[in-house]
Amino acid sequence: MIIERLSGTRGAADLGWLRSKHTFSFGNYHDPAWMGFGPLRVINDDRVAPGGGFAPHRHANMEIISVVLDGALAHKDSSGNAGVIRAGDVQWMSAGHGIEHSEYNDSDAQPVHFLQLWIQPDRLNAEPAYGQRHFDPDARRARWAVLVSPDGEDDSLAIRQQAWLRASRLHADDTVPTVLDPSRRYWLHVAAGEVRLGERVLQAGDALGFVDEDIAINVQGIAETSDVLLFDLPA
């Protein structure tokens, strides 16, 4: 089964300082048909205005991953972690038994654009944990680079779930293949640009879910530069 989720069908929020598109139900946007995809619970496409941000708030038992596409995002949490993540950086926060954190645009002049991703963990009430890495987008041109994994392979961020997040950057006519394992499920999300997969053309914010599919897929870049994410998830 292939599930299509087009950008224009996503939920939306506009708080002035925040403009967000929600792939799955989140906050005031609730759609019983879109509650998540396996343990993948949230994909929020967030744009935060200069000086804006999320005031301190609490989470528990969720793996929260932030992928910065443009600008800079400042982080602070109750475990003493603090820092700024910029384009090309990936941040992981395992909320564990509970953690309070805040995120703010680190600039008073430029907006920040990032993806907020939530994955349900495979264990409950663990100690909170935090990490961040820089992944050069040009180093993953036309190849899948591992951003997060269960064991930190290839210097990725190790999360508490049997899940992998891979990313690829494609220039026009670049291609990146992968073979799907029918015992897993996959979610392909276009973060930026425009790509082709078979007869489908996918634009920024579009996504496809794959369940029980035993096929090879080939993603081809159409735009000058496109960024795609592939979630490899337990069934």
Report if residue 112 sits inside a domain.
yes
Average per-residue pLDDT in the chain? 97
pLDDT of res. 144: 98
- Give the CATH number for residue 78: 2.60.120.10
Report if residue 212 sits inside a domain.
no
Report if residue 207 sits inside a domain.
no
Contacts of residue 223, defined as CB under 8 A and 6 or more positions apart, other chains included, come to: 172, 193, 194, 195
> For residue range 44-83, what is the model confidence (pLDDT) as tens digits?
999 999 999 999 999 999 999 999 999 999 999 999 999 9
Burial class for 207, CB neighbours closer than 10 Å (0-12, 13-18, 19+): buried
Report if residue 67 sits inside a domain.
yes
Report if residue 159 sits inside a domain.
no
Could you tell me the two tokens for 128? 């909170």
Report if residue 165 sits inside a domain.
no
Q: How many domains does the chain have?
A: 1
> For residue range 138-195, what is the model confidence (pLDDT) as tens digits?
999 999 999 999 999 999 999 999 999 999 999 999 999 999 999 999 999 999 999 9
> For residue range 180-227, what is the model confidence (pLDDT) as tens digits?
999 999 999 999 999 999 999 999 999 999 999 999 999 999 999 999
Report if residue 233 sits inside a domain.
no
Report if residue 201 sits inside a domain.
no
Q: What span, in angstroms and rounded, lies between the C-alpha atoms of 128 and 1?
A: 36
Give the residue numbers spanning the domain of 101: 9-135
